[in-house]
Amino acid sequence: MTSLKRLSRKSPVVIQASFLMLVVLFFQASPMLAHAVSSEWIQGAGLERMTKSAFTDWASSLEYTGEEYGELLLLEPVDGVVVPANSASPFIHWQSDASTWVVRLTAADDFSVKVLCSRPYWEPDDKTWQELISRSAGAAINLEVFPVGGVFGRSIGAGKGAVIYIDEYSLDAPIGYLQMPLPFRKAQQHPEMAQWRKGEVSTAGEPDTFLTNLPVCANCHTYSADGSSVAFDIDIDGDKSGFIHSSTAESIDMMRVDQGSWNQLSVNTSAPISFGLFASLSSSGRYLVGTVGEVSLFVMIDHHDFSQMFFPVTGQIAVHDRDKQELLVVPGTDNPAYVHTGPRLSPDDQTLVFSRAPVKDEYVDAVLSGQVHAESSQQNIQQLNVRYPFQFDLYTLPFPSSDEAIPQPLVGASNNGMSNFFPRFSPDGRWIVFTRSPTGLVGQPDSELWVIPASGGEARRLSANTPIMNSWHSFSPDGRWLVFSGKGQRAETQTFLARFYEDGTSPPALRLQRFSLPEFANVTPEFLPGRAAQIKEINFLIEQDKQQTFKNNTR
């Protein structure tokens, strides 16, 4: 059998051409030539209440002409997308001037499904999709959407198509992510509206909600690569630098004994306190690394699409050693002339990679004097980027570090006239995928995912990128898949999945439509590996005020 990799890179044009021929034959052929599911038309979106006989008469009267009936744009899935072998059906969405459309899905052995819709979207039911997966023999499924028009509304016009490749590998690790309301001001004022969810790519239903109604702020989370540990940033008793570093199990009780505070460290920066930004766990779960001593340039924006500008302008990297129960600043990141942030450890815990930039004293003064706080919330992110441009480079240090260690710029992700941040090692340690944008750090409209060899080298843009804002990426435990946050057909940040090949390339990404809720943003997606995938309940047993206790169970 032709391998997917070879098929996906050399054969799409041939498949498309063959498919268009099949489409013509389909509309000209006798109904007796149709297979199984395709022996009858499927009533798609908007036609569910139409009587069967009326629908059959209408569908049978359609005739393919290939004429142009206005502009038609196939929005998703993107042509060339690769989905796991066990993937649930994708969401099919298009834009057109017509009011009725024909959708056709064809598997590699010419098995086809034909659908008639009066709404510009459709999602195959699980039975239909699994039949298509089975018939495709691990190769591809061809998708085509045609407008219906003409004088009598019975003519099928020229369509648009895409190829969906079925990967030979499944994806078994669930994806955990934070879902929060927009704009950011609303999320900040109502932390109880945020919810942590866990979704399976193979499941057609809505993801589980395993934590919500938090009485404390605990939005940022991280899991170790082996799934043995989980950590949460928490804001408790007025200490915004709190964290909980716990072992994973089906039922996790998070107690005060598990709590630490980055403010236990003495940090040589202008910051009066630490927050512990962008903390992440090592592969083994022993080390938790995060940014401390931060002065952060933060402006809340009243726009829905991009509702904050945020980046630290001072900062050092600290580590919590769970085995020794020690907190210390990492040598080499304690130079107050630089801001260090966004740390990640390599899979073997031998290398620390992080973002670094020279401190701009005028920015520190602008924050501490209240100038930044007084910025108008009516500005947009582009205006603020012009007012406060800031660029980070990626640097590395050996870990554990020594007093003599000097951070080294990572070739391909430094000195490139861009801001480089959020580095993530592939599980085999060969690659680093990072985010880069013209300026800034969090929630940048022009941010994209790029890849370089872990030791540095030529940087390449990933084909998985969506048109707007790509960030918060995570590797699957086997390294074959990337999950990330991006913006596709909606203003809110969505969850996307892309194949990641051994040579550091990727095809277009699939939006995980079932993971979304209207008016909510999906952020910080992360695969739940090993034991972390088995989490069924998280109980925060933290005394606050009148010894408040709460429990959340997966539903």
Q: Do both 275 and 359 map to the same domain?
A: yes
Residues 298 and 251 in one domain: yes
pLDDT at 141 over 80: yes
Same structural domain for residues 247 and 117? no
Q: How far is 397 from 405, CA to CA, in rounded Å?
A: 7
State mean pLDDT over 277-282.
Answer: 91
Beta bridge pairs of residue 140:
165
Is the torsion defined by CA of 458, 463, 468, 470 positive or negative?
Answer: negative
242 within a domain of the structure (yes/no): yes
Within a domain: residue 459? yes
Q: What's the CA gap between 244 and 230, in Å, rounded?
A: 8
- Please report which confidence band the pLDDT of residue 217 belongs to, taking 50, 70 and 90 as the band edges: low
Identify the CATH number of the domain in which residue 490 sits.
Answer: 2.120.10.30
Above 50 in pLDDT, residue 146? yes
- pLDDT surpasses 80 at 8: no
Amino acid identity, position 504: G
Mean pLDDT lowest among 29-43, 190-204, 361-375, 501-515: 29-43
25: pLDDT strictly greater than 70: no
Same-domain status, 353 and 303: yes
Provide the pLDDT for residue 276: 83
Instruction: Give the tens place of pLDDT for each residue, 147-196.
Output: 999 878 899 999 999 999 999 999 999 999 988 888 777 777 777 788 88
**Do both 90 and 179 map to the same domain?**
no
| Residue 39 banded pLDDT, cuts 50, 70, 90 | low
**CATH value at residue 130:** 2.60.40.3760
Domain boundary among 137, 166, 195: 166
The answer to whether residues 410 and 448 belong to one domain is yes
| Distance, CA of 480 to CA of 260 (rounded, Å) | 34
Model pLDDT, residue 11: 35
User: What is d(CA 250, CA 455) in angstroms, rounded to the nearest whole number?
Assistant: 37
Q: Residues 235, 236, 241, 243: is their CA dihedral positive or negative? A: negative
Q: Give residue-wise pLDDT tens across range 478-512.
A: 999 999 999 877 788 999 999 999 999 999 999 99
Q: How many CB atoms lie within 10 A of CB 235?
A: 16
User: With contact defined as beta carbons under 8 Å apart, do 282 and 327 qualify?
Assistant: no
Three-state DSSP class for residue 28: helix
Average pLDDT of the chain?
86
92 and 230 co-located in one domain: no
232-241, 254-263, 405-414, range with greatest mean pLDDT = 405-414
- Quote the CA–CA distance of 423 and 450 in Å, as a whole number: 10
Q: Give the pLDDT confidence score for residue 14 in this predicted structure.
A: 34
Q: How far apart (Å, rounded) are the C-alpha atoms in residues 168 and 480?
A: 11
Half-sphere exposure at residue 509, Cβ-oriented, CA atoms within 13 angstroms:
28
pTM for the model: 0.88
Query: Residue 445's domain spans which residues?
Result: 175-545
Helices (H), 95-198: 126-136, 184-189
For residue range 428-476, list pLDDT tens digits in order.
Answer: 999 999 999 999 999 899 999 999 999 999 999 999 999 999 999 999 9
